[in-house]
Amino acid sequence: MFMQFVTGFQIYSSAIQRPLWATSRCRIRTRCNFSNSSYPHQVLQYIDEECGDFLPWLRQKSGAEISSVLSIGKSIYGRSLFACKPIQAGDCILKVPYSVQLAPDNLHPSINSLLGEDVGNVAKLALVILLHQRFGEQASEWAPYISCLPRVEDMHSTVLWSDEELKMIKISSLYHETLKHKGQIEKDFSSIKHVLDSFPEYFDGVTLHEFKHAYNLVESRGWVSTRGVSMIPFADFFNHDANSETDVLSDDFKQVSEVIADENYAPGDEVLIRYGKFSNARLLLDFGFIIPRNKYDQVKVEVNAPPNDHLHALKLDLLHRHTTPSLKDVNDLSSQENGFMVMEVKSSSGKGRGIPQSLRALARVLCCTSPQELQDLAMEATQNDGRLARIPLKNRDREVEAHQLLHSRFSHMIENYKAALESLTHHSSEKHRRRMQLARDFLTGELRILESASSWLKNYCQTLKQRESV
């Protein structure tokens, strides 16, 4: 993901155009593997000796102080940044000049000139990383930074999962989105293959697997900037806290990226930022971790008109005439036709917030049994705000039937999710065990959402029936 980014101190959606979710996306850095606990602000940590020379190198390369209050260490979540001095909310805790940020324009002109217009900034920056990885510590001026980037075996984004591992989440829409994105990466690799072959002294033997690793490093650690997309050394060591209000700021006039603390930190506290308001599907795809009971979590639910319905054509025509713009969830992930993003319903006796009104409207249309009922819905929409079937049907039995249809769909999904969870068995290797646990926790979170929606629908139908009997 490229994260929420601020440029010129005005909020800017740092998104890369990618077909994965059929829309632009915010992304930033592959992180460590988060546990199933909430995020404590103070955790056991120690100095990361592997990166001991990194900050002095970055300071020398930039000719400026990067941070005097942060140190690189390791937490239970992996590599992270800690306060080494007291920090007050509002303090500028990090400044990284543009001159020490990696971007596509770091690619040598002789290489860049061979790339077609279809090669995007992510693929170009991935080539920059591959180039410096091949140069090694002796020849690359960026070696202290490149050597601190995660190894492929330490990354768990679903685009890096094997086909067998992906089957663990096949029940979720994330499975299909991952396959789409893997296909895009393969397409990008094909687009730059002739460049790799033209410079065997730099790229000899580079495989799709290596390119995918570099590609995911960029997607998970990069910010969109005026240079296309940039990797900001040191800033990408921050871990994620969904409740943090801290962003990375970019000042094009001063040519520097900054981070301003949103709360106080004592020495030894882990300093966190928020990558974005992302669902676990988004986090697992982009970063390879999930958040327990993620308040932004959601599940894609598809409901289609039965093709054997004698009113099938009329219903589709009515839905087409009153269709709303492409559905988007809070993470800006677009839904496919008849796909709806459902969030957790907090109370079974409330208003059903979390279940899209458009999904309930579709169910009302699907339960109509005569052309007259469809005409009545169309007339009602015209007389109101143009939106179709957004208010309860006057026929209470039909309203119950519509929501029982949805309840049946959710119940079917719940059974499938439970079966998928039961099918997960232990693997011997550490990597497979970790990914299986991620799959189990991810599916459990989506199951929780489905069960909350199912409970509300059941209660809604029972309430309507009780009113009818009074």
Written as tens digits, the pLDDT of the chain (470 aa) is 455 433 333 323 333 322 222 222 333 333 333 333 333 444 445 566 667 788 889 999 999 999 999 998 887 777 889 999 999 999 999 999 999 999 999 999 999 999 999 999 999 999 999 999 988 777 889 999 998 899 999 999 999 999 999 999 999 999 999 999 999 999 999 999 999 999 999 999 999 999 999 999 999 998 877 878 899 999 999 988 888 888 888 888 999 999 999 999 999 999 999 888 899 999 999 999 999 999 999 999 998 888 899 999 999 888 888 874 433 333 333 334 558 999 999 998 889 999 999 999 999 999 999 999 999 999 999 888 888 999 999 999 999 999 999 999 999 999 999 999 999 987 667 778 899 999 999 999 999 999 999 999 999 999 998 886 65
| Nearest partner of 411 among 450, 449, 370, judged by Cα | 450
- Residue 15: beta bridge partners? 26
Tokens 């040191």 — which residue?
234
Residue 321: exposure state from Cβ atoms within 10 A (0-12, 13-18, ≥19): exposed
* d(C-alpha 97, C-alpha 254), whole Å: 8
The pLDDT assigned to 48 comes to 64
Question: What is the pLDDT at residue 441?
Answer: 97
> Hey, where are the domains in the chain?
4-286, 298-469
Residue range 77-90, pLDDT digits in tens: 778 899 999 999 99
**What confidence score (pLDDT) does residue 52 get?**
72
Tell how strand 10-13 and strand 4-7 pair up.
antiparallel
Give the integer Cα–Cα distance in Å for 222 and 224: 7
Fold (topology level) of 4-286? set domain protein methyltransferase, domain 1 (3.90.1410)
Residue 334 CA to residue 328 CA, distance in Å, equals 4
Q: Give the pLDDT of residue 469.
A: 66
Q: What is the largest CA-CA distance in the chain?
A: 83
Rounded Cα–Cα distance for residues 178 and 447 (Å): 19
Instruction: Please give the angle made by the CA atoms of 73, 76 and 79, to the nearest 5 degrees.
Output: 35
pLDDT, residue 128, reads: 95
Report pLDDT for 1: 45
**Residue 151 confidence (pLDDT):** 92
**Are 235 and 28 contacting, i.e. CB atoms less than 8 angstroms apart?**
no
Give the CATH H-level superfamily of domain 298-469.
Rubisco LSMT, substrate-binding domain (3.90.1420.10)
Is 379 in contact with 366 (CB distance < 8 Å)?
no
Separation between Cα atoms, residue 168 and residue 161, nearest integer Å: 10
Three-state DSSP class for residue 110: helix
pTM of the full structure:
0.84
Contacts of 265 (CB under 8 A, 6+ apart): 41, 83, 86, 87, 271
